[in-house]
Amino acid sequence: MGRELEFLYVSSRIKALETALLGKSTIDRLLEAQGPEEALKVLSDTDYGADMAEMENVYDFEKVLEKSLKRTFKTISDSIKDSRFVRFFTLKNDYHNLKVIIKNKILGLEGQEYFSNLGEVPTDELKKLVLEDVTASVPESIKRAYQQAIQVYEETQDPQQIDFILDYMLFEELAELVEGTKENFFKEYFTAMVDLINIRTTLRLMQMKADFRILEKSFLPGGSIKKEILLKLSNEPVQNMIDAFASSPYGGVVEAGISSWINNGSPAVYEKLADDYLLNLARRGLYKPYGPETVVGYLAARENETKILRIILVGKINGISSEMIKERLRDVYV
């Protein structure tokens, strides 16, 4: 009980914030909108409305979503002593920005528009790091990740190796972060996330008939499924993959996701089902008055909501039918 008491204040704030999460009825109204302008009008009647005043055109919706999510991260960060819970959700954005800066340097590009504003390390400091500026104020873990990525790139001249190294080191850092909290729920959530990504990666590379060495480099640390098992399955018929996970917690995701992937040539259904599986785990936070589940659940819900809105608005801008957009939508948290 002692550890849970640390979450009392932040949990009480989250319980108030949960009331502003978008429910199914609002999502349905967004889906029914005739175009992006009408969808944004529906969104303006929600908590996103305050951030929409600065929009110059419909394409600025990404800035609105980003600004809202960044405010959520700050609110929770200001309300909890243990920064690792928020850092779990922001760290990937710093690694994303590092990838962009390294590739821009290699290819001689700018790419400013590809930066995420949801990280915690200023992009100017990451740029200093990549320019070998010793004054760069960057965490040691990210410095090590950069050094390893550049070393492998210089040896191979293969930009894909940068992705392999930085993805691996991101998840290595996430695993340490989660382990450090000693929270079983957090570990369960992270383990499932990694397992589902590693299964997806195996399937994608099987579809591409990729070299097993690429498959080996693509596995992320922190999951419960051994690399050897997935490597073995990658050389067998796809049905063996379905059978291997049939009795596991991921059975439904794997069977329906793979079947759709084979039939349609797209991982979209697998990715939707994997996200829904993780959201269902995170939903425990709805039913606990306080504790780590409440924090992880709410932050996962906010990221999920951002993803839902992005899918809808991109679909509306590109004139995709409501039925097709709905097929890709994730579940809502509330």
Is residue 318 pLDDT above 80, yes or no?
yes
Quote the Cα angle for 220-244-161, to 5°.
20
With CA atoms as reference, report the closest residue to 132 among 121, 140, 143, 123.
143
Torsion of CA 232, 236, 237, 243, to 10 degrees: -40
Residue in this structure with the two tokens 């909501």, named with its chain if needed: 305
Q: What is the pLDDT of residue 209?
A: 80
Angle formed by the axes of helices 160-181 and 140-156, to 10°?
Answer: 150
CB 4 within 8 A of CB 290: yes
Residue 89 sits at φ, ψ, to 5 deg, of -90, -20
3-state SS track over the chain: CHHHHCCHHHHHHHHHHHHHCCCHHHHHHHHHCCCHHHHHHHHHCCCCHHHHCCCCCHHHHHHHHHHHHHHHHHHHHCCCCCCHHHHHHHHHHHHHHHHHHHHHHHHCCCCHHHCCCCCCCCHHHHHHHHCCCCCCCCCHHHHHHHHHHHHHHHHHCCCHHHHHHHHHHHHHHHHHHHHHHCCHHHHHHHHHHHHHHHHHHHHHHHHHCCCHHHHHHHCCCCCCCCHHHHHHHHCCCHHHHHHHHCCCCCHHHHHHHHHHHHHHCCCHHHHHHHHHHHHHHHHHHHHCCCCHHHHHHHHHHHHHHHHHHHHHHHHHHCCCCHHHHHHHCCCCCC
How many Å apart are CA 101 and CA 90, to the nearest integer?
A: 18
Which range among 200-209, 220-229, 306-315 shows the weakest confidence by mean pLDDT?
Answer: 200-209
Is residue 3 pLDDT above 80, yes or no?
no
Is residue 64 pLDDT above 90, yes or no?
yes
Q: Could you state, in order of their start, the residue ranges of all structural domains in the chain? A: 82-182
Residue 321 sits at φ, ψ, to 5 deg, of -65, 150
Is residue 196 pLDDT above 60, yes or no?
yes
CB 212 within 8 A of CB 235: yes
Tell me the pLDDT tens digit for each residue of 278-304: 999 999 988 888 999 999 999 999 999
Q: Which residues of 161-178 are buried (b: 16+ CB within 10 A; e: fewer)?
A: bbbbbbbbbbbbbbbebb
Task: Categorize the per-residue pLDDT at 215 as very low, low, confident or very high, splitting at 50, 70 and 90.
Answer: confident
**What's the whole-number mean pLDDT along residues 58-87?**
95
Query: According to the CATH classification, is domain 82-182 in 1.20.59.10?
Result: no
Task: Categorize the per-residue pLDDT at 99 as very low, low, confident or very high, splitting at 50, 70 and 90.
Answer: very high
CB 48 within 8 A of CB 302: no
Is residue 29 pLDDT above 70, yes or no?
yes
Is residue 1 pLDDT above 60, yes or no?
no
How many Å apart are CA 329 and CA 180, to the nearest integer?
A: 33
